[in-house]
């Protein structure tokens, strides 16, 4: 055998041995090394991680009969790349299509990022244990190597990156081979925005576990968009935009306009929590507004009752003035020695009349105050008590008489049946007050003519009462009627309307009286509300 033939044979044997090694390793033998591209000062550290992970991936068990693929006794899965990069993404976009294409795509990317970030976090912890890594940078090295061996992508870390365990952390790196971009190109698809969402999520999850920092990664260039390679910037979320501007000389807003978003781990969860907190604050604010609105209606009663009380008090003051004048005249005649029986008789007659006027008008004022006090206190209370509902409705309407008279309302009340029952007088007083206020603000015709208001209370059976309120005013259009009970809806915002009056009515009927309210209205035909609610016969009734 010639020496040349021997050399050829030796070369062939060496080639077969290498091929045999690749087969024994189930093709986990790189075609070239290193599998991670890093700045020179990091090369030795990454080389050590590559040797360790290469040994781990040399221990492979594949047994379809047990649905088992294991590397170093750690079960793995084989998943089609496009099922995640394209199929899952497209399905989520279709699922949220009603939100619009841009928002649907953002939601889908958020899902993919969160899934990959979680996998990266936990893969890192497992491989850290296998590598025995303690130092954050040493923990980082396993990520890009494992990333390459499991087919996610090839990582090329650019010089100038700062993998440090504080807020100054940032990495700029490329994926010359990315399973997501490759899936798009294989399917002959392009994208205006980044597609390597899972790559960004996995990488930032691994680095977060390695450095103990909350990190995220944003893709600023992408092969699926037509760029030469896929380029990422990783940093704490609050500093990513700053890094993009400093490193690439471009505003993050310009990137965002093209679909390059800064993904944040479980951002949806945080957003949902913020929405929940905002709704809670809104509910508290609404409850405070409702409380103030209810107090405002009491304020209307105060102003009306003040007028009602001032009138009899004014008469009483005038009567006492008459007594004072008569006393002065009587004293003058007495001192002059000219006092007669006729003078005394005149004084007693005038003083008696004045005293009667004082008593009568003070009693009238006291009655108004008592009536107001009963109704106004009820309006801030939701206590249940036994009462004659017919009489109570009349008292409430009486306390509203000043407001009704000022707005030229002619209030008529009719009742039917025995209306002695157990119910919530505060809610009923508040409802009637809001009905009258609603008529004053929205129902009167504004031309000074009198608007008739009919209130009817009927005991339908032992356990139910119907209260109907109707004004013969302007009425509501179909559009206004449909929104009448909505919180903050009003057609009189400029006139001081809050849009809470009828909303409070519906809330009281539903939540306090446990009844129902119906509305019927049309332009020019007035407005009619019908309340039906249960009542009890004894205070112990449920």
Q: Model confidence over 301-335: pLDDT tens digits?
A: 565 556 566 667 777 777 787 778 878 887 888 78
Q: How far apart are CA 147 and CA 292, in angstroms?
A: 61
- Asked if pLDDT for residue 135 goes beyond 60, the answer is yes
Average confidence (pLDDT) over 111-117 = 89
- Output the six-digit token pair for 275: 């929405």
In 3D, which of 236, 208, 230, 202 has the Cα closest to residue 114?
202
**What 3-state class would DSSP assign to 87?**
helix
430 CB contacts (<8 Å, ≥6 apart)?
Answer: 294, 297, 378, 379, 504, 505, 508
Run of H or E including 423: strand 420-423
Average confidence (pLDDT) over 462-466 = 91
More confident of the two residues 173 and 73: 173
| 8 Å CB contact between 421 and 537 | yes
- Asked if pLDDT for residue 474 goes beyond 80, the answer is yes
**DSSP string spanning 318-363?**
HHHHHHHHHHHHHHHHHHTT---HHHHHHHHHHHHHHHHHHHHHHH
- For the stretch 380-433, pLDDT in tens is 556 888 999 999 999 888 878 877 888 888 999 999 989 999 999 888 988 888
pTM of the model: 0.51
| 8 Å CB contact between 471 and 443 | yes
Cβ count within 10 A of residue 502: 24
Q: Where are the domains of the chain?
A: 1-31, 32-265, 280-376, 381-542
pLDDT band at 141 (very low <50, low <70, confident <90, very high): very high
More confident of the two residues 166 and 399: 166
Query: Picking from 48-52, 62-66, 142-146, 400-404, which range would have the lowest pLDDT averaged per residue?
Result: 400-404
| Predicted local distance difference test score (pLDDT) of residue 355 | 80
- Output the six-digit token pair for 125: 């912890």
| Peptide bond before residue 34 is cis, with ω within 30 degrees of 0 | yes
Output the CA–CA distances (angstroms, integers) from residue 390 to 121, 243, 347, 510, in the order listed.
Answer: 71, 74, 46, 21
Query: Picking from 15-24, 195-204, 459-468, 478-487, which range would have the lowest pLDDT averaged per residue?
Result: 15-24
Decide: residue 218, CB within 10 A, 0-12 exposed, 13-18 middle, 19+ buried. buried
| Predicted local distance difference test score (pLDDT) of residue 292 | 62
- CATH number for the region 32-265 comes to 3.30.1380.20
| Predicted local distance difference test score (pLDDT) of residue 359 | 78
- Which of 1-5, 444-448, 527-531 is modeled with the greatest confidence? 527-531
- Output the six-digit token pair for 160: 């100038």
| Predicted local distance difference test score (pLDDT) of residue 397 | 86
- Output the six-digit token pair for 88: 């899952």
Handedness of CA 368, 373, 379, 383 (dihedral sign): negative
- Asked if pLDDT for residue 210 goes beyond 90, the answer is yes
- For the stretch 66-110, pLDDT in tens is 999 888 888 999 899 999 889 988 998 898 888 888 788 888 888
| Predicted local distance difference test score (pLDDT) of residue 440 | 83
- Asked if pLDDT for residue 542 goes beyond 70, the answer is no
| Predicted local distance difference test score (pLDDT) of residue 160 | 92
Q: How far apart are CA 236 and CA 159, in angstroms?
A: 19
Cβ count within 10 A of residue 506: 17
- Unique residue bearing structure tokens 């970030």: 117
Q: How far apart are CA 84 and CA 119, in angstroms?
A: 14
pLDDT band at 271 (very low <50, low <70, confident <90, very high): low
Pick the CATH number of 381-542 from 3.30.70.930, 3.30.565.10, 3.40.109.10, 3.80.30.20: 3.30.565.10
Q: How far apart are CA 430 and CA 453, in angstroms?
A: 17
- For the stretch 211-270, pLDDT in tens is 999 898 989 899 998 999 999 999 998 888 889 888 888 776 776 666 566 666 555 555
- Output the six-digit token pair for 400: 């509203």
- Asked if pLDDT for residue 533 goes beyond 70, the answer is yes
Q: How far apart are CA 516 and CA 418, in angstroms?
A: 21
In this structure, the strands spanning 409-416 and 451-461 are parallel
- Output the six-digit token pair for 26: 């189930």
Phi, psi of 487 (to 5 degrees): -60, 135
């Amino acid at each position: 055998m010639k020496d040349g033939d021997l050399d050829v044979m030796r070369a062939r044997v060496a080639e077969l041995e290498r091929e045999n090694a690749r087969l024994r390793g189930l093709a986990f033998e790189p075609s070239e090394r290193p599998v991670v591209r890093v700045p020179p000062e990091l090369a030795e550290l990454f080389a050590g991680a590559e040797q360790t992970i290469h040994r781990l991936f040399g221990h492979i068990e594949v047994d379809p009969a047990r649905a088992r693929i294991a590397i170093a006794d750690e079960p793995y899965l084989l998943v089609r790349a496009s099922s995640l990069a394209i199929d899952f993404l497209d399905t989520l976009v279709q699922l949220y299509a009603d939100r619009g294409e841009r928002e649907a795509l953002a939601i889908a990317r958020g899902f993919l990022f969160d899934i990959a970030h979680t996998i990266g976090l936990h893969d890192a912890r497992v491989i850290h244990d296998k590598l025995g890594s303690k130092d954050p940078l040493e923990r980082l090295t396993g990520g890009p190597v494992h990333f390459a061996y499991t087919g996610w992508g090839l990582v090329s870390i650019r010089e100038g990156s700062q993998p440090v365990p504080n807020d100054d952390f940032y990495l700029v790196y490329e994926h010359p081979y990315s399973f997501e971009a490759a899936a798009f190109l294989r399917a002959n698809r392009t994208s205006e925005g980044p597609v390597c969402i899972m790559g960004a999520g996995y990488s930032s999850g691994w680095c977060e576990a390695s450095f103990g920092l909350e990190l995220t990664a944003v893709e600023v260039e992408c092969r699926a968009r037509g760029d030469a390679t896929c380029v990422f910037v990783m940093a704490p979320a609050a500093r990513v935009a700053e890094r993009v501007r400093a490193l690439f000389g471009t505003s993050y807003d310009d990137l965002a306009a093209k679909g390059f978003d800064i993904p944040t781990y479980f951002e949806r969860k945080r957003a949902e929590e913020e929405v929940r907190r905002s709704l809670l604050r809104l509910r508290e604010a609404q409850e405070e507004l409702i409380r103030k609105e209810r107090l405002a209606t009491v304020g209307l009663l105060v102003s009306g009752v003040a007028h009602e009380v001032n009138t009899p008090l004014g008469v009483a003051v005038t009567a006492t003035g008459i007594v004072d004048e008569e006393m002065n005249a009587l004293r003058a005649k007495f001192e002059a020695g000219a006092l007669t029986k006729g003078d005394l008789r005149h004084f007693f007659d005038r003083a008696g009349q004045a005293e009667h006027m004082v008593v009568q008008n003070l009693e009238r004022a006291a009655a108004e105050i008592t009536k107001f006090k009963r109704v106004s206190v009820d309006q801030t209370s939701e206590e249940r008590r036994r009462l004659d509902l017919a009489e109570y409705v009349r008292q409430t309407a009486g306390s509203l008489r000043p407001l009704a008279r000022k707005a030229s309302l002619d209030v008529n009340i009719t009742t039917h049946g025995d209306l002695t029952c157990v119910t919530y007088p505060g809610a009923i007083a508040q409802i009637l007050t809001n009905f009258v206020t609603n008529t004053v603000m929205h129902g009167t015709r504004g031309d000074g003519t009198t608007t008739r208001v009919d209130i009817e209370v009927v005991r339908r059976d032992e356990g139910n009462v119907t209260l109907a309120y109707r004004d013969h005013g302007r009425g509501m259009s179909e559009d206004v009627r449909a929104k009448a009970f909505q919180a903050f809806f009003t057609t009189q915002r400029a006139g001081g309307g809050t849009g809470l009056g009828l909303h409070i009515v519906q809330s009281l009927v539903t939540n306090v009286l446990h009844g129902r309210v119906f509305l019927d209205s049309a332009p020019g035909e007035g407005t009619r509300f019908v309340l039906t609610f249960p009542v009890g016969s004894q205070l112990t009734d449920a």
